[in-house]
Structure 1
Amino acid sequence: MNLTFTHGNLDKFRGRIDWLRANKPEIGFVLSEVGNSLQPKNTYEFQARLGSALWQVDYYLYSMTIGVKRINYQQIMHAGYNLWLPVASAGFPAQVFSNYYSQPASDTLQGTSGKTRVSQLSVDAANIAAYVAYDDGAPKRIAAINMNYWNQTSSTEARCSVTLDFYVPDDVAEVTVYHLNSPAGAGAAADSITYGGSQWTYESLGKEVKDVRQDTEIVAVEDGVASVIVASSEAVLIWL
């Protein structure tokens, strides 16, 4: 959960992306077989956790800022970083894993127009990234990912948070804040994770189960600024 490490690795592709943009603009740069392979044993206990989903959200959004056109997320049986297990296998029941929650969270920022432009915002806080999505040149959505580690079962201190101040357009009086979070923190499995208060489960056949947690909030804008609290090991999506 180190933004400097993640962004540094992605920056290695900038030269190739820039070359394609200048010389072959009709060819998009695609990253294939992406997945969190931090542990050689590929265990769900290590990789199918909220921390991995947060890493994925930031990975997707930072990739957009440097010009990556598309990402293919790898799905193989028992890789540890799977989004889901479609059938019972090797003693594991069919289920949706924590990594899946990166998909609706990042998709919300990207939007559906196909023309969204994403830029990184400067944040005066360590190991926290923020991004803004523009539609037709106007800012519409903001995402913030707090990659500072906190885990209910191993952290010895109380869960910290930061307040981020975002300037918004003059006609915005309030913003809606959706949380990607779990009370258990970075080590949470999918059964306690929600995005925007919703879950996606095998039992629901992948359909959204709403109102599992009531943590979506409306934040009033004061003097053109929306102040949003982001806990350690949490991401938020702010709809302007």
Structure 2
Amino acid sequence: MLGFPAGKPRHASLRSRALRAKLLGFPSGQPPPQLASLVGSTPPGVSNVAGAALWTLDYLLSAAQVGISRIFFHQGIGFKYNLIQPVTLTRSKVDGSPLQTPLPPHVQPQYYAAVIAAEAIGPKGNTRISELSIGDGRVAGYAFYEGSKLSRAVIINSLAFFKGSSAGSRQSVHVNLSFAGGSYGAPKSITVKRLDIPHADDETGLTWGGVTYESADARPRGTANVTTVNVANGFDIRATEAVLVTFNN
């Protein structure tokens, strides 16, 4: 059960406290130094795979809700933890060996995290974010308020679902929503948009609301796919998946 305090963003998790401790010493709103998901350009199968998109999204939103104004991700030509590969590569990202066929510029999985974070924050400039208290260490949630109005939420299920696992073994969590009182009242319905990830260790194949950015020019391709759900019914979120919930008042 996720409870949304109407108009009262607050911090409510051990993870947010740990992040505040880690960032202790930085003035309010000042960004920390550049970072990446793992030191040393990372071994293959960590930062260059789909599961890293969930880590990046969770990190971005967790930092935002403690007042960090921006995050600098370490990037470079051929780095495995890039959000994008900006130029054609003639050597392997994995082991540096020469490629028989050059690899054109392309989007990598973590790019989707930036797209989702931007969409969740929105364009109005008055958005506030609050981490939600969830009784499951594998699931994170963030609520977004425009002024005092609850507008959106992001829910992330970080339980890993790997290649080689049977489709029937993919776990899911059912999310029920509850709302405190407020001048806007509880929404009548919600729109759910999903980051679909076939497996946590896939390097490609992600779609955001039915749309892929893994095209030759990195422009979105595909047909948008979102679902409208009655609030009382809640929704399921699968292992290795993130959803953006938009509240329809």
Bigger RCO of structures 1 and 2 (CA < 8 A, at least 6 apart): 2
Q: 1:125 to 1:186 in 2, by over 3 A?
A: same
The residue that corresponds to 1:235 in the other structure is 242
Please list every run of 5 or more consecutive structure 2 residues that lacks an aligned counterpart in the other structure: 1-12, 92-98
Q: C-alpha distance in 2, partners of 1:218/1:172?
A: 12
**What is residue 24 of structure 1 aligned with on the other side?**
none
Gaps spanning 5+ residues in structure 1: where? 22-27
The residue type equivalent to 2:135 in the other structure is D
Separation in structure 2 between the aligned mates of residue 201 and residue 48 of structure 1, nearest angstrom: 14
Q: 1:25 is matched with which residue?
A: none
Query: For residue 140 of structure 1, what is the amino acid of its counterpart?
Result: S
Residue type at the aligned position of 1:30: P
2:201 maps to what in 1? Answer: 187
Secondary structure of the residue aligned to 1:30 is: coil
The answer to which structure has the higher helix fraction is 1
Change (3 A) 1:35 1:154: farther
Give distance in 2, aligned partners of 1:171 and 1:9.
32
Determine the C-alpha separation between the residues in 2 that align with 1:153 and 1:7: 34
Corresponding residue number in structure 2 for 1:31: 32
| 168-177 vs 122-131, greater mean Cα deviation | 168-177
* Residue 166 of structure 1: aligned partner: 177
Partners of 1:211 and 1:156 lie apart in 2 by 24
Cα distance in 1 for partners of 2:194, 2:15 equals 22
Structure 1 residue 188, shift from structure 2 partner: 1.9
Given residue 35 of structure 2, which amino acid in structure 1 is its aligned partner? V
Say which of 104, 114, 122 aligns to 1:111. Answer: 122
Equivalent of 2:142 in 88, 113, 131: 131
Q: For 1:94-149, what per-residue CA distance to the aligned partner results, in whole angstroms no more than 9, with x for missing partners?
A: 21111111111111111112221100111122311100000011110000001111
Residue 10 of structure 1 aligns to a residue whose secondary structure is helix
CA distance, structure 1, for counterparts of residue 58 and residue 127 of structure 2: 17
How many residues are paired up? 220
TM-score of the aligned structures, taking structure 2 as reference length: 0.79
1:66 equivalent in alignment to 2:66: yes
| Larger CA deviation: 140-149 vs 165-174 | 165-174
What do the CA deviations read for 1:56-77 (whole angstroms, capped 9, x no partner)? 0000001111111111122211
Residue number in structure 1 paired with 2:231: 221
Identical aligned residues as a percent:
25
TM-score by length of 1: 0.82
